[in-house]
């Protein structure tokens, strides 16, 4: 297998079979990383569930079926395994895609790609320590005296996992915007000019995220707007189009 994942340069010319063979190998490695992470997370499911249940405080989720404790625990372990194995999965994606870039394009793409796992982790941390406590505080105390509140484990863990994963994904906004600027599709000046429309889009995205309450929507919207402003700043400093892109844009305008 080691020969199949040797470093591939931009000048190397591989056949379709060799490309598919490399892709298959990297998919196997990514699945193996997920499998190992799943085994570890399921082995430590008590500690994992303790971490996930922490935002609930003294409340304990309930199960309603015979098999639900097992299936719910396995589902939580699978979500956690996705998060844990994400760096390995992303690395396999980078290693497969990067040979398509020229050395100059690689110097542009590599820093952007390296930002992805760090921004993902930042989004997960923000969701766990900021969004989840505030959202649960609002939702669990809303009309609490009118209901006999029971928290079903499957519903809570689904809400928790989707919220955490969604925040990790939306925190990729700077990478997306910097990529658009580097490709010459937009400019920092255009980003500033259309700031009001961007804020509206951020509000729509925040409303579409798993949180159904206004508190979590606002908490998810604020970092989106902040990330948009950060993207403008980064694009102004590092977002000049590459010479190849600049030449193409100049010839197209001419």
Structure tokens at 79: 């979500």
pLDDT tens column, 150-163: 888 888 888 888 88
User: What is the pLDDT, as a whole number, of residue 222?
Assistant: 84
pLDDT tens column, 2-14: 445 555 554 555 5
> Does 127 reside within a domain?
yes
pLDDT tens column, 107-139: 666 777 777 788 888 888 888 898 888 888 888
Distance CA 134, CA 66 (A): 32
> Does 253 reside within a domain?
no
Is residue 17 pLDDT above 50, yes or no? yes
> Does 28 reside within a domain?
yes
Between 170 and 242, where is the model more confident?
A: 170
> Does 111 reside within a domain?
yes
> Does 64 reside within a domain?
yes
Distance CA 192, CA 65 (A): 53
> Does 8 reside within a domain?
yes
pTM above 0.85, yes or no: no
Domain count, the chain: 1
Residue 21: C-alpha distances to residues 4, 27, 101, 143 (Å): 7, 10, 20, 58
> Does 231 reside within a domain?
yes
Range of the domain at 74: 2-242
Three-class secondary structure of residue 62 per DSSP = strand
CA 118 to chain centre: 10
> Does 252 reside within a domain?
no
């Amino acid at each position: 297998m080691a020969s199949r994942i040797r470093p591939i340069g931009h000048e190397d010319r591989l056949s379709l079979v060799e490309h598919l063979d490399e892709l298959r190998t990297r998919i196997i490695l990514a699945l193996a990383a997920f499998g190992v992470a799943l085994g570890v997370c399921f082995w430590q499911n008590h500690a994992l569930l303790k971490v996930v249940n922490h935002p609930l405080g003294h409340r304990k989720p309930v199960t309603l079926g015979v098999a639900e404790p097992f299936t719910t625990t396995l589902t939580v372990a699978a979500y956690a395994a996705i998060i844990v194995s994400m760096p390995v999965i992303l690395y396999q994606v980078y290693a497969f895609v990067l040979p398509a870039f020229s050395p100059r394009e690689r110097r542009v793409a590599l820093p952007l790609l390296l930002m992805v796992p760090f921004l993902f982790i930042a989004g997960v941390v923000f969701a766990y320590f900021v969004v989840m406590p505030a959202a649960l505080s609002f939702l669990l105390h809303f009309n609490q005296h009118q209901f006999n509140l029971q928290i079903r484990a499957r519903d809570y863990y689904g809400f928790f996992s989707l919220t955490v994963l969604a925040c990790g994904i939306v925190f990729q906004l700077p990478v997306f915007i910097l990529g658009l600027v580097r490709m010459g599709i937009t400019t920092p000046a255009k980003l500033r000019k259309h700031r009001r429309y961007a804020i509206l889009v951020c509000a729509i995205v925040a409303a579409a995220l798993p949180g159904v309450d206004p508190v979590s929507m606002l908490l998810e919207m604020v970092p989106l707007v902040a990330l948009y402003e950060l993207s403008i700043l980064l694009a102004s400093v590092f977002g000049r189009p590459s010479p190849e892109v600049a030449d193409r844009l100049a010839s197209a305008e001419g």
